[in-house]
Amino acid sequence: MTNGDIFASHMYNEVIRQYDEVAEFINLDPNIKERLKLPQRALTVTFPFRRDEYEEVETVIGYRVQHVLSMGPTKGGIRYAPDVNLGEVTALAILMSWKSAIVGLPYGGAKGGVAIDPRPLSRAEKQRVTRRFTAELLPVIGVDKDIPAPDLGTDEQTMAWIMDTYSNFVGSPQPGIVTGKPASLGGSITRREATGRGAVAIAKAAMDKYNKKYSDSKVVVQGFGNVGRYAALASYEEGAKVIAVNDLKGGVYNEKGLNIPELFKHIAKENTVDGFPGGDPLDSEILELECDVLIPAAVGGVITSSNAQKIKARVIVEGANSPTTLNADKILRDNDILIIPDILANAGGVTGSYFEWVQNTQNYLWKEKELYEKLIDVLTSSFEEIWVIAEKNKCDLRTASLIKGIKRVAAAKLTRGLFP
């Protein structure tokens, strides 16, 4: 095979290890097998941006990786984090291909990122980074080419700046260039809440399999960004007890269940869950609390072989991308913990994005209620389908999800044939 060493990274190696195992299991055509390990396009850019101290110019590195261009435009988020690198972005782009295929969306996978810590940046600095990065991405993105969305460290405002910059270059408004935009620009509230709410819809379906009601469950949510907060809210609305949540600054615990709408009010003022008076400060490791449903919704690689043995949840719903290392995954399975993998559990995000994009490109106006129903329908039926695949193949849900995702992408490639 072509030397793919430039993509090597811990996350890439993990994604390929999973892929190899499943490709073997389903007897994947060997030509397709090698092809899908490498992204079709990977753009690396470096660019300068001006710090607020006008004299200071910093140069940063950014990426956009498109894995498969066979099934429609590519789709996936853009993250801002200090450790972003080509291998990580490639791994995440590959996961996006499987994720979209699992829920049946007409997209290939993509991902982008800038290696920068967004937290110390002022709003103006973040805006300059975003606009210049968008300009650098112009040759590869487009409404029917590649459509970015938010990911770690980026949000609706970031998408608004991308949309504005791109529209200025094109010369007309292009709302469909990004999803996860503010509602005032054609974004959908359903998209904003889709990843967290979708994860809970799937968790509910999983608890049903154990004849246990989600409303009788104790839920723990790690991370309170866009995914974690709506997962917590949806859990609360379902009547579950959300006993602990945390973010970068601290955590809060209440055995009787936290009042999540009140917590939202606290966050609006304080910008952190820390100090919320409706619970006690969390003084233990959040992932190790006893609960029915654990939702890691922060960053990747948090459940490893060093803490997996201490996890006492019955079900883990991977809200974040790649929160569990493969070694940890095995330990959890040996301990009979059901893991709903990221490519299924957080597929609500890209599904909500798809609806937003279709509305933008077709000038449709669906009501939010209608969108929400469509979202839940797509996710729960995908979950049921994966459940059946798992039963049939006597495998775990990650393997079953990969079987569905990889088969669908491979079928598209095989059917298109080889050019020239």
- Positions annotated as catalytic residues are 111
Does 159 engage in binding with ligand GLU (CB under 6 A)? no
The rounded distance, in Å, linking the Cα atoms of 16 and 406 is 12
Nearer to ligand GLU, 81 or 244 (CB): 81
Measured from the CB of residue 149, what is the shortest distance to ligand GLU in angstroms? Answer: 3
Out of 28, 149, 302, 315, which residue is the one contacting ligand GLU (CB under 6 A)?
A: 149
Each residue 206-245 as x (binds ligand GLU by CB under 6 A) or -, in order, gives ----------------------------------------
Helices (H) and strands (E) in the chain, counts: 13, 12
Out of 324, 346, 359, 360, which residue is the one contacting ligand GLU (CB under 6 A)?
A: 346
Contacts of 347 (CB under 8 A, 6+ apart): 99, 100, 102, 103, 198, 379, 382
Does 67 engage in binding with ligand GLU (CB under 6 A)? no
Q: Which two tokens stand for residue 326?
A: 């493969």
Measured from the CB of residue 75, what is the shortest distance to ligand GLU in angstroms? Answer: 5
16-49 per-residue burial string, b: 16 or more CB within 10 A, e: under 16:
bebbeebbeebebeeeebebbbbbbebbebebeb
Q: Which stretch binds ligand GLU (CB under 6 A): 70-78, 284-292, 308-316, 407-415?
A: 70-78
DSSP letter assigned to residue 79: E
Q: Which stretch binds ligand GLU (CB under 6 A): 19-27, 59-67, 73-81, 248-256?
A: 73-81
Does 14 engage in binding with ligand GLU (CB under 6 A)? no
Which bin fits 363, alpha (ψ -120 to 50), beta or left (φ > 0)?
left
In angstroms and rounded to an integer, the radius of gyration of the C-alpha atoms of the chain is 21
Contact status, residue 294 vs residue 316, Cβ threshold 8 Å = yes
The rounded distance, in Å, linking the Cα atoms of 361 and 175 is 8
Residues in the interface with ligand GLU (CB under 6 A) total: 11
Does 321 engage in binding with ligand GLU (CB under 6 A)? yes
Nearer to ligand GLU, 214 or 357 (CB): 357
Out of 313, 344, 345, 350, which residue is the one contacting ligand GLU (CB under 6 A)?
A: 350
Q: Are strands 74-81 and 146-150 parallel, antiparallel or unpaired?
A: parallel
List of residues contacting ligand GLU (CB under 6 A)? 75-77, 149, 151, 179, 321, 346, 349-350, 353
